[in-house]
Structure 1
């Protein structure tokens, strides 16, 4: 009895001509995800992939069981105080989704978060139980869960398909009764304004245009029969918008931003139906973000901006004269300022130095003196945790590392005393068995590329099976993070390495600038150089090396597959952006226009067109011995359309000379982040890790 046969995509030549270059795309027909033939093709690939990996089912079950065993299934987040309540989320063994809850504080001086021993906290109210909301749906995700200033109403939004378009609803928390206020097709977030003196309640939300760009901010009056008012519309297709309330709750702010420029509008929160005013008009290649602070008793705005240097400086200005900047922290070439958080009595400044995040604290004065906070571990990810209360006496901090589970602590700035509130409980985990280090690799042009290496101590530094992970776009950083699932790899002798390639933000803005647009190929060659270094240094071999990346990281590993297929035994490409030129040439597609600052505009520039054409994974597939490849996608992904990996796999199958398996796996009800539900996600991870272990000879 024979099993499923891997489908072979038919060829339907489609012609594309730009800048005198004509391209024949045989698989453009796969772009129509609503076409029955396309759906049948994807399902046929799913059936084949399942059959081809069926022998790994016991290993998948073992990994799933290990993730489950290392997870405290009934658990609770550290409650955070806001108003008269402690807000938290908890999970229950056997249930897929979290439960959002709150419980009353004991009194105005109650700043010690309660601990859940078992059952529920006294007076607990369930705000949103996603297990209930998910009934009848294969997928569910939360876009917003925001409580009104008086604690009476919950505004929440849900997506039940994965396309990241949410339905916004409002519920009476005390009675559980839904209000008639319902808004369809909103984007992430929902912001309450303070209740007006006349008792009016206003809710602000964001919507997207046809290209899935957040372009409009709306004001909704609770209980009103009048239509919602669009208070801000962004015409420039490079910019997206968002709205929020400052921690002090004194100002509503609208932020409009592109990759390289930004602008902020502000409104006194006591007048939510008033007119927003711009703080500083947008300038080309100038980015800034704004926080409200009270410095020595004076209301001021804090501006984190790059007007005087690419790695940003911190300035303050009077709220009525936002153009009058006073420098608080000047620009430095070796420090990338990333954010500032303002509280009633202190400031927290986040920055990067030496490729790692740092945190400094200062009193809220006109001339703050920032002091770096030392978490006691070198290779860590750290920053302020949830601190919604403006005048909290203690500051909540969070940190984790490759070997330290997520930790929440409180710092008393007056005494310096630190109290660990919670460290993620990982049953059966012994941190002493693992180690993480940072090594540096010299790229072909002399750049020093940081690489994080995590392993069991008993593996040593000799040759070992290795999973090499990368991203390298949008100035995103892959700072140290703890993973329960990763233990299943390391406990089988696999080393986990992260290549912090150019295009990311680990080493400051210049690191990003030298890995985008007409320098994008640095991202790919950095990754290849890291892989080659690991081989040359005797840490691994090509037969023991698998590459992994997702989304723009999928573009990375897809390009690497063309550049150096001989260096890898396997490649995992999750929701991979492997047909970038086709997408960036089409301004009607989601996100395209806003992406031109990242990739360049191939419509206008022949140079950009040819540069992208030369690195596009899909357009550079050739007759060569590709390693085994597992590509995953989701049918409702709006960020990287499923046509990209589908076309790429079809082209790979038509050209590979190695005989290695090329597999495509499509989630039919999911979005860019994959399936929803923690158990479903664990199984998704177990599938990929079992495949990786198989390629590394450990499956």
Structure 2
């Protein structure tokens, strides 16, 4: 693949780092801005040399992809054409109102509204497009109504750095109170009488570590610090139980949790600890009157169980099993209502909803018969109800929203995702295959293709993967994928270890000292798809983002000959340096996931053996597109920048290598729903270019 412009070269400015008696040289560490905290808040203060390099890479990427400009416009038009522009959610009832979210034709941002349940005019509470006017970046970080329905707590980020400003809006006048609360994690939780709002504030290193109580209408400088987490390895969140009776302070890392509670009707009471943190023990709570319902992996409950405990004595010694542990059946979440409890669980890779009647523990389940599908369970706002809402989709079936009556067991279809440009599920095939791994495990692979695509080994294939933090990539409907599938691509998702697709064990055997299973599983999936004549290695384009971007970096080092192209979006590729830098926002909480190379030489050696940046070699690499966000606090911009700089200096061959940095956005890319599609169009144009279809 010929390059049409000269790629930029970052200057090598060697820096030496020493730990555990090991000296490591980093030629491109200078791309990490010393004032990165300031850059998150104000991108204009970025060092001139760093900015010049990033902008040179952007100019190169634009020049190389210029011949695909028309294709990108076509792809953008197709993807936009599959979106119902004036779409609206199914409003959820809450007391005298039903609350919902919608978009206007041409609008980029959501609009929050409510309607009286007894009939009457709709009221717009928050118009996202109006709030975003004049801003290069704008994202709403949630909106929630007060129990008396007189206030709306909403938050926004206008830098992409995820420092959210919290606002309180009078729902009658539509105007915000005359102050703002800065540097929050987004959103707020009201006390029962609507006079107090609880929120979490971020520190200078972007860690959510302090819970404050704000009295509505008073100066935020007077807000009361309710609880502080001093361990930099733990993050804090705040929420509320389904009953609305308890405010929950959730403190956690990736393997350990601790929960405190405050009665919502006694907001000035000090928080009460449920059970102290115990390394490796996770738990989350809901409540019903004087009883707590706790989802936990305590003891040998690797795939979790549900226990109960009295609110008055919530310690572990009082936990009593309600739903016992069933190996291989992973309980993902639970929610308690007045007469029943729901839980979402996954077994054999497929999700189902289980209804548990509180009076007698009688259970029944809601499930579907497709080979691969996605199921989501919504909590709603109300506690005293017999109806739950869930969403269902598959790779060929657009999302459907159902209301389900737990007494009659009737499903009522409330909404079906519209595809304005048209979609016939019969034109497509979805399959689920099991790819054999070298150690005897089998890796699930979800596959989508057009019924007319010849499976003779000649089709291009996009293979997506993630495989970290126990996150499962669902086999759900993705309108964007059809722009590739309709052009002859096979679209596949490899459910590799590191996710929870096959239970908690699947996660446990893809992290820390077994992290390399994530990479070899992905390669095994690619091999199997080739063996089954879906594609050939040269026609596979691999894609992953964030920790999935680390997967992309790892496979490009391990098996570059097995992929024609790599798409690495906000890729976590400088793993070793990041895990050695405890000033970064996510580093201490990440040590349970990757290991702590500062204190543990074994962890250092293992991370060093796969960290993509540290394992770049003088060899041919596939075509690579890396995408970054300047104000990204999760995967900092310099990780992909350093990776691309080192690849440019050391790789052989003429494989295409590009870096695209969004200078006005963070981890999620562009904030508007249509602006984001332009970024997807670029990625797809790259895939088509690699496949010889552009």
Query: TM-score, normalising length from structure 1?
Result: 0.94
Q: Which residue of 2 aligns with 1:440?
A: 434
Q: Which residue of 2 aligns with 1:203?
A: 197
Aligned partners of 1:8 and 1:650 also within 8 Å: yes
Cα deviation, 1:501-527, whole Å, max 9, x if unaligned, reads: 111111111111111111111111111
Cα deviation, 1:311-334, whole Å, max 9, x if unaligned, reads: 111111222232422211111112
Deviation at 1:194, TM superposition (A): 1.0
Pairwise mapping of residues 117-132 of structure 1 onto structure 2 (< 5 A)? 122-132=120-130
In structure 2, C-alpha distance between the alignment counterparts of 1:507 and 1:280, rounded to whole Å: 29
In structure 1, C-alpha distance between the alignment counterparts of 2:371 and 2:98, rounded to whole Å: 33
Q: Which residue of 2 aligns with 1:424?
A: 417
Aligned partners of 2:201 and 2:208 also within 8 Å: yes
Q: Which residue of 1 aligns with 2:21?
A: 20
Aligned partners of 2:619 and 2:652 also within 8 Å: yes
1:519 aligns with 2:514: yes
Aligned partners of 2:444 and 2:494 also within 8 Å: yes
Deviation at 1:376, TM superposition (A): 4.2
Q: Which residue of 2 aligns with 1:191?
A: 189
Pairwise mapping of residues 219-234 of structure 1 onto structure 2 (< 5 A)? 219-225=213-219, 227-234=222-229
In structure 1, C-alpha distance between the alignment counterparts of 2:620 and 2:541, rounded to whole Å: 15
Aligned partners of 2:166 and 2:186 also within 8 Å: no
In structure 2, C-alpha distance between the alignment counterparts of 1:312 and 1:98, rounded to whole Å: 36
1:650 aligns with 2:645: yes
Q: Which residue of 1 aligns with 2:339?
A: 345
Q: Which moved more, 1:201-210 or 1:593-602?
A: 201-210
In structure 1, C-alpha distance between the alignment counterparts of 2:228 and 2:412, rounded to whole Å: 45
Q: 2:303 aligns with which of 308, 311, 315?
A: 311
Q: Which residue of 1 aligns with 2:30?
A: 29
Deviation at 1:386, TM superposition (A): 4.4
Deviation at 1:396, TM superposition (A): 1.2
Q: Which residue of 2 aligns with 1:111?
A: none
Pairwise mapping of residues 22-421 of structure 1 onto structure 2 (< 5 A)? 22-32=23-33, 34-106=46-118, 122-195=120-193, 201-225=195-219, 227-293=222-288, 299-308=290-299, 309-323=301-315, 324-365=318-359, 367-421=360-414
Pairwise mapping of residues 566-585 of structure 1 onto structure 2 (< 5 A)? 566-585=561-580
Aligned partners of 1:339 and 1:350 also within 8 Å: yes
In structure 2, C-alpha distance between the alignment counterparts of 1:98 and 1:284, rounded to whole Å: 40
Q: Which residue of 2 aligns with 1:6?
A: 7
Pairwise mapping of residues 554-569 of structure 1 onto structure 2 (< 5 A)? 554-569=549-564
Cα deviation, 1:575-621, whole Å, max 9, x if unaligned, reads: 00000000000101111011100000000111111111110111111
In structure 2, C-alpha distance between the alignment counterparts of 1:630 and 1:5, rounded to whole Å: 16
Cα deviation, 1:544-603, whole Å, max 9, x if unaligned, reads: 111000000000010000000001110000000000000000101111011100000000
Aligned partners of 1:357 and 1:479 also within 8 Å: no
Q: 1:640 aligns with which of 612, 635, 638?
A: 635
In structure 2, C-alpha distance between the alignment counterparts of 1:24 and 1:169, rounded to whole Å: 46
Cα deviation, 1:76-104, whole Å, max 9, x if unaligned, reads: 11111112111111111112112111111
In structure 1, C-alpha distance between the alignment counterparts of 2:257 and 2:5, rounded to whole Å: 52
In structure 2, C-alpha distance between the alignment counterparts of 1:412 and 1:510, rounded to whole Å: 34
Q: Which residue of 1 aligns with 2:607?
A: 612
Q: Which moved more, 1:543-552 or 1:141-150?
A: 141-150
In structure 2, C-alpha distance between the alignment counterparts of 1:433 and 1:490, rounded to whole Å: 11
- SS state at 1:603 partner: coil
Deviation at 1:142, TM superposition (A): 1.2
In structure 2, C-alpha distance between the alignment counterparts of 1:392 and 1:687, rounded to whole Å: 46
Cα deviation, 1:345-368, whole Å, max 9, x if unaligned, reads: 221111110012221112122x51
- SS state at 1:72 partner: coil
What is the total number of aligned residue pairs between the two structures? 675
Q: Which moved more, 1:577-586 or 1:177-186?
A: 177-186
Deviation at 1:460, TM superposition (A): 4.7
In structure 2, C-alpha distance between the alignment counterparts of 1:87 and 1:303, rounded to whole Å: 28
Aligned partners of 1:80 and 1:386 also within 8 Å: no
Deviation at 1:415, TM superposition (A): 1.3
Deviation at 1:143, TM superposition (A): 1.5
In structure 2, C-alpha distance between the alignment counterparts of 1:689 and 1:598, rounded to whole Å: 31
- SS state at 1:652 partner: helix
Deviation at 1:383, TM superposition (A): 3.0
Aligned partners of 2:203 and 2:209 also within 8 Å: yes
Cα deviation, 1:201-247, whole Å, max 9, x if unaligned, reads: 00000012233221111000011347000101011222111111211
Q: Which moved more, 1:627-636 or 1:655-664?
A: 655-664
Aligned partners of 1:193 and 1:245 also within 8 Å: no
- SS state at 2:114 partner: strand
In structure 2, C-alpha distance between the alignment counterparts of 1:536 and 1:396, rounded to whole Å: 41
Aligned partners of 2:391 and 2:400 also within 8 Å: yes
Runs of 4+ in 1 over 6 A off after TM superposition: none
In structure 1, C-alpha distance between the alignment counterparts of 2:376 and 2:584, rounded to whole Å: 35
Cα deviation, 1:385-429, whole Å, max 9, x if unaligned, reads: 241111123211111111111111111122111110001101211
Aligned partners of 1:356 and 1:479 also within 8 Å: no
Aligned partners of 2:239 and 2:249 also within 8 Å: yes
Give the RMSD, CA atoms, in angstroms: 1.5
Q: Which residue of 2 aligns with 1:117?
A: none
Q: 1:399 to 1:125 in 2, by over 3 A?
A: same
Q: Which runs of 5+ in 2 are unaligned?
A: 37-45
In structure 1, C-alpha distance between the alignment counterparts of 2:243 and 2:268, rounded to whole Å: 19
In structure 1, C-alpha distance between the alignment counterparts of 2:512 and 2:7, rounded to whole Å: 37
Q: Which residue of 2 aligns with 1:113?
A: none
In structure 2, C-alpha distance between the alignment counterparts of 1:377 and 1:276, rounded to whole Å: 46
Q: Which residue of 2 aligns with 1:631?
A: 626
Query: TM-score, normalising length from structure 2?
Result: 0.95
Aligned partners of 1:621 and 1:651 also within 8 Å: yes
- SS state at 1:179 partner: coil
Aligned partners of 1:504 and 1:511 also within 8 Å: yes
Aligned partners of 1:635 and 1:669 also within 8 Å: yes
In structure 2, C-alpha distance between the alignment counterparts of 1:337 and 1:460, rounded to whole Å: 39
Q: Which runs of 5+ in 1 are unaligned?
A: 108-121
Cα deviation, 1:1-31, whole Å, max 9, x if unaligned, reads: x986321111101001111111111111111
